[in-house]
Amino acid sequence: LLVERPDSLLVAGDIYDSANPPASAQAMFYRFLSAARRLRPDLDLVVIGGNHDSAARLDAPHPLLEAIGVHLVGGLPRRGADVDVERLLCPLTDARGAVRGWAVAMPFLRPADLPRLADAEDPLVAGVAARYAQALEAARARRKPGQALVALGHCFMGGGRTSDRSERKVLGGNQHALPVDVFPDDVAYVALGHLHLAQAVGGQDRVRYCGSPLPLSMAEAKYPHQVLQVTLSGAELVAVDALPTPRPVPFLRLPEEGPLPLDRVEARLRALPDAPAHQPGWKRPFLEVRVQLEGPTPDLRRRVEAALVGKGTRLVRLEATRGGDGTSLADPDPDARLTQLEPEAVFRRRWARDHDGDPPAHLLQAFHSLIEQAHAAEEVDP
């Protein structure tokens, strides 16, 4: 904000990762808004809620934020039974205060926010398009020649690339992706939230996901996160430039090449550098450990944590890969039902699910001992 000195900052949700964020997360968000307003009094701040956010929680401080020049829309605003379209509109000004464009700050739309369009081929997609059409028409009525139209949204667009293990489609049971023509050609730029990977939609530079500014899963550990700097001239888009975001906390995945046997993983972990003296807790690297198991390892976590003593890392995920066939005990079997199988057969199936081959003799012996104890207990206390 200080170096690039943009005229506006658009945040397309999610603000939080949960509808019930901790007080510390809320304090961090409001401190940021306060600092941005203090350092850049002329900055337009436009924020919308996402699918992870509680619309009511975000909208609660609206009167206070509005008073300091922050335009935040947590959920679709209403005035009685009607949509409060005026609250969705925000003028975008330059450093001298002249209006250069209008933003439609459309938050994440839940099915209950949409008009009923039963005759449409896809009522949910048509409902979203109708909400944008209504708001954009109001913005067109306000703008003057040479002023740009900008839209914000938090949604899943058709053809969007998702990040492994950290996101999902959001509208109507994860089945409804929005077409890019929801945003007419006179909209100079569309700032989208939800997908964590930065990308243009439908091959159009004007419709973009900025992506998350930091990793939200270990699958994104090596992904170059960014924010986007958008340049408009009059009503036209001139350029979109990626600005890499700093990552003050490292994200580590070990082994980098994939799961390895536990003894080799332990050696890798012990080879990590020791934690620097007086290292702040928040700077400790996040760590995912990936292990290939060749048999039962009940002390897996203990051994991994022991290898990490003094390393100053935060173990956030321990992924164990097994060599079995992965077949569920509930999978249909044309030869027998689960209730018709002998206990040893069930035990062998469970072993095959997680490990290669047959269970070793000493485990079979221990299993039979447990079965005998269970039968003996039934005879004593039927």
| The overall pTM is greater than 0.95 | no
**What pLDDT, on a 0 to 100 scale, did the predictor assign at position 172?**
44
Nearest partner of 90 among 64, 69, 117, judged by Cα? 69
CATH of segment(s) 8-244 = 3.60.21.10
**What pLDDT, on a 0 to 100 scale, did the predictor assign at position 225?**
93
Query: Which of the residues in the chain have pLDDT under 50?
Result: 169, 171-175, 332, 334
Q: Which two tokens stand for residue 270?
A: 């012990």
**What pLDDT, on a 0 to 100 scale, did the predictor assign at position 326?**
54
Q: Which two tokens stand for residue 213?
A: 């500014």
**What pLDDT, on a 0 to 100 scale, did the predictor assign at position 173?**
39
- The tens digit of pLDDT for each residue in 237-254 reads 999 999 999 998 999 999
**What pLDDT, on a 0 to 100 scale, did the predictor assign at position 169?**
47
> Given the DSSP bridges, would you call strands 204-209 and 199-201 parallel, antiparallel or unpaired?
antiparallel
Where in the chain are all domains bearing CATH 3.60.21.10? 8-244
C-alpha–C-alpha distance, residues 84 and 81, integer Å: 9
Q: Which two tokens stand for residue 172?
A: 């109507």
Which residues, other chains included, contact 267 with Cβ-Cβ below 8 Å and sequence gap of 6+?
none
Q: Which two tokens stand for residue 378?
A: 């039934």
**What pLDDT, on a 0 to 100 scale, did the predictor assign at position 223?**
87
Report DSSP state, residue 193.
Answer: E
Nearest partner of 229 among 241, 247, 238, 245, judged by Cα? 241
C-alpha–C-alpha distance, residues 248 and 138, integer Å: 42
